[in-house]
Structure formats: C-alpha cells, structure tokens
A and B are shown apart, each in its own frame.
Chain A
C-alpha cells in the first residue's frame, strides 16, 4: 500500500507551509489540516 509522508499545518499557517515548501525544508508533502482530530501531528507556528 502506498504511504504518504506528510507534514501537517493548521489552516491559518498556510503561508508557513508554502514557505517551507519553497525553501525545500519538507520531506514528503505539506498538508493543511482543518479540525482538531490531527492536532497532535500539526506544526503550529503559534505554539
């Protein structure tokens, strides 16, 4: 089964996700995640 490697960001951090993508900092795919279910996996730039 194909597995995807993701780095998750909250919606309001979309600019940070784009910046990380532009700077080549990501391994895999950046994903904006809405809602609380995956909060523990997120990179929250405000925290």
Chain B
C-alpha cells in the first residue's frame, strides 16, 4: 500500500510502499476513503508538538471501510467508520474516570503517535472509531472528524446563553462551527487576517452577521470568542472584544507566544481557556448533530 510518511522534523512527506498491516487485538483494518488535512499536521511537520514518533504517517480525520477485524472485534466488512485524533486512552486514570479522557497522560493520538490516514489502509482501535452517516460522502465527512469536533467542543466550552459569538480564523473548524452556532440562533462575527476578503465572504455566505479584520472591534461586546488561528497575538484582541464574564477559547493544539497584555483585559471575570483534543462523548454528542435540520 502507498503511505505518505514524515521521516523527520522539517521535512516534507515521502511516498512509500508498505505491506498492508494486520489488525491486532481490538483493532480494525480500514481501507481509507478520505482523510482531511488539519493545521495540526503542519505543526507536526514543523516539529512544534512534543514527543512525535518518527517515522509517522500523519492524518487524523479518517473515513474508511472495514476490511478486516482483529481478535475481539465483530464488525461486518464494508462498514464505514471515522477515526479521530484520540486513538487510545487508558480508561483507568483520574481523567478517564471523570469523563476527561482527552487529558489522559497515557493517551495516544492518530497521525501523531499512531500511524494515521495519509495512506491507502490504516489500523485503528475500534473502541475509538465513530459510525458515520451515509448522508455524507467520505470527503464531506472527513473534516467533521477533527475540525467539526474541535469546533463543537470549543463552542460547548464557551458556555450557555450565547447570543454573540466571535470566531478568529475562518478555516476548516470555523466554517463548521459557524453553522452550528447559526442553527443555535447566535450571531456569528468572523475575524480574519486583515485583507483576507475571500474568508470574509465565505463567512458571510455561511450566515455570519459580520466579517472583518481581527484588528477590528465588534460594534457591541461579544459573549464569547473562539480562536482557531495559531496566533498568540489574537488573545488580547479577543479579550478586548468580549464582554465582562465572557469567555475566550483557544481551539488549537499549538499557538505562537502570547504577548503581555494589561490585566484590565482579563478583569471583569473574563475567562481564557484552551480546548484539548476530544472525548468519545464529544463525538457521540456531535456526530448526530449534522443531520438535524
């Protein structure tokens, strides 16, 4: 089978031939139909994440069909599954036992410590796979596996009773969560790089109330803001844009250094938090969502 492999930090991916792997206990062998490309893959290429296992096959937004099951797995051949970023958690630690398996110290991640979906076939622990609606083609469904899920988890972390949501960086995750937010009745304010008119038009096409430069302030304070762009300078800008008691959520796995900013921007019980990875419960909550009309 063909795989795209990252051999070392700073390199490009190399196309290699490998034998099709055999599923072990609890694993399924999937024929990959589609795999979305995530900004996390860029952080992987650039060596911006710790403990990368080289060589590694990136790709953690996988849609594939079951070809073969390992011992202990009973799934029909041809069943379509999605494979997300979280590929394993221990199930025993304080985090796993309290619904926070995303924070498990023993967790391993697809396309990071486990070979991922930039390949014709891949292995996955069936316990961490999701069923995927047939309403989507494989290519359409693939971005839901990370961009959609991280966006959804970020939105949940923004809290309840939101009317005005800001989104900084309007890429894959933003274009999905903007639709969720609109469906929930929120005003979406999209902040992009200055001059990125294509992204601003795209945001407005998807129903954003306002779209403009990240250097601008909204007409009225936001209830919450999600930052998807990996740019630390956006944090003080987003804090400046949210109301007292508002929340700023950083949705990315890596961000450039945050510049110092006056405490006054955080004052007023504003909150700043990150969102790390995902849980399977997030998946169950989110993956029935896209089919709601």
Contacts and interface: CB of A to CB of B under 8 A. Distances in A.
Contacts of A29: 36-37, 142-143, 147, 171-172, 175
B179 A6 contact: no
What size tier do the contact residues of chain A reach?
Answer: 20 to 34
B292 A4 contact: no
Contact of B193 (A1, A15, A24, A31): A24
Contacts of A32: 34-37, 59, 117-118
Contacts of B172: 26, 28-30
A30 B118 CA distance: 12
A2 B171 contact: no
Identify the interface centre among B45, B140, B147: most chain A CB within 10 Å of its CB.
B140
A12 B15 contact: yes
A4 B137 CA distance: 10
Contact of A2 (B31, B34, B36, B176): B176
A26 B290 CA distance: 22
B116 to A, nearest CB: 11
**Which DSSP category, helix, strand, loop or mixed, fits chain A's interface?**
mixed
A26 B42 CA distance: 14
Contacts of B138: 33, 38
A44 interface: no
A1 B180 CA distance: 9
A33 B34 contact: yes
Interface string B147-170: 110000000000000000000000
B286 to A, nearest CB: 10
B222 to A, nearest CB: 22
Contacts of A15: 4, 12-13
B4 A5 contact: no
B29 to A, nearest CB: 14
Contacts of A33: 33-34, 138-139
B264 interface: no
A34 B34 contact: yes
Nearest to B142: A31
Contact of B293 (A1, A6, A8, A17): A1
Interface string B109-147: 000000001111000000000000001111111111001
B4 A14 contact: yes
Query: Considering the complex of A and B, which 7 residue pairs feature the smallest CB-CB distances, nearest first?
Result: A29-B172, A29-B143, A2-B290, A30-B37, A14-B4, A17-B37, A31-B139
8 contacts: A2-B290, A3-B179, A4-B148, A14-B4, A27-B175, A28-B202, A29-B142, A33-B139
Interface of A: 1-6, 8-9, 11-12, 14-15, 17-18, 21-22, 24, 26-35, 38, 41
